[in-house]
Amino acid sequence: MADEFAVPGEMTAIGIAAPGGPDVLVPQRRPVPAPGPEEVLIRVAAAGVNRPDVLQRQGKYPPPPGASDIPGLEVAGTIVAAGSGSDMLVGQRVCALIAGGGYAEYAVAPAGQCLPVPDGYDLAEAAALPETLFTVWTNLFERAYVVAGDTALVHGGTSGIGTMAIRLCNLFGVQVIVTCGSDDKCAQAKAWGADHAINYKTQDYAEEVKRISGGQGVQAVLDMVGGDYLPRNIACLAEDGRHVSIATLGGPKAELFIPAIMQRRLTLTGSTLRARSVGFKSLVADELIRTVWPFVAEGKLRPAMDRTFALTDAASAHARMDAGKHFGKIVLIV
């Protein structure tokens, strides 16, 4: 038992040599971090790759104060050590949302942000859950408060966020319309569970949403594009609709016709997750355990898995994400 949980002094981790392309991700030897009070040390089996990791690599998204400079926002593995107040968790298989440090053999996570991995659930799949699950749940189901019978429009239908949104909408009785960049991706999204998929390169998605909804519009939009998508998204909303912004990949500014928001009583909101407090994210984890985790335990909620890469080949994983041809999650195997 002692050998099983022995912790070395150093580990292999992926550092960012300088802001730039995938080739700036290089394996390095780093000290193994030590967990503080209410924290745990996870021997990482797998780490998810996410768009914020790419932005951090490019120098556009620095880690929040106190977070590791090693990229990686979600991991799965076994807890091998713990700070005061969390000793009872040693030995558990968990996946965890973290503020950084995931691309490594060991990572520290707040105990409250760990979710138990059910027996038989693959750790690579578990590592692909936290970031998208926390993001979609807090934004689509809490901020946009979609409920059974609603219809939601989700951009980036084959991304990690998009595929998680599709699955959660399926499980909670929400009709989901997604946009994708090709007919092939639209077909993939529909096969994954989207009720409708619109090729935004060949169709006017706002007109298609109007057609699909019989002119009524949708109750919620989950948007990571921003820019000129925002006024078109607003045109997609039904009366009392809710629009949630979670990224601005298409630009940080938009021009809006304010009377349309007033007349149709629309709500425009948004959030970021990485810099939120441990207390907030722990509350979200508690809610996920109550409301979503039973589906995970039953095998009804699994992430869309694209490809896995070795930890030391993180550059290739980022190159695949940069190419934009992936479907679902890219995961590093340690």
pLDDT tens digits for range 128-158: 999 999 999 999 999 999 999 999 999 999 9
Taking only the tens place, the pLDDT of each residue in 258-311 is 999 999 999 999 999 998 999 999 999 999 999 999 999 999 999 999 999 999
Q: What is the pLDDT of residues 191-249, one digit of tens each?
A: 999 999 999 999 999 999 999 999 999 999 999 999 999 999 999 999 999 999 999 99
* Residues 267/221, Cβ–Cβ less than 8 Å: no
- Three-state secondary structure call for residue 108: strand
- The alpha carbon dihedral of 13, 22, 192, 284 has a sign of positive
pLDDT of residue 1 exceeding 60, the answer is no
Yes or no: say if 67 and 107 are a contact pair by the CB < 8 Å rule.
Answer: no
Prediction pTM value: 0.95
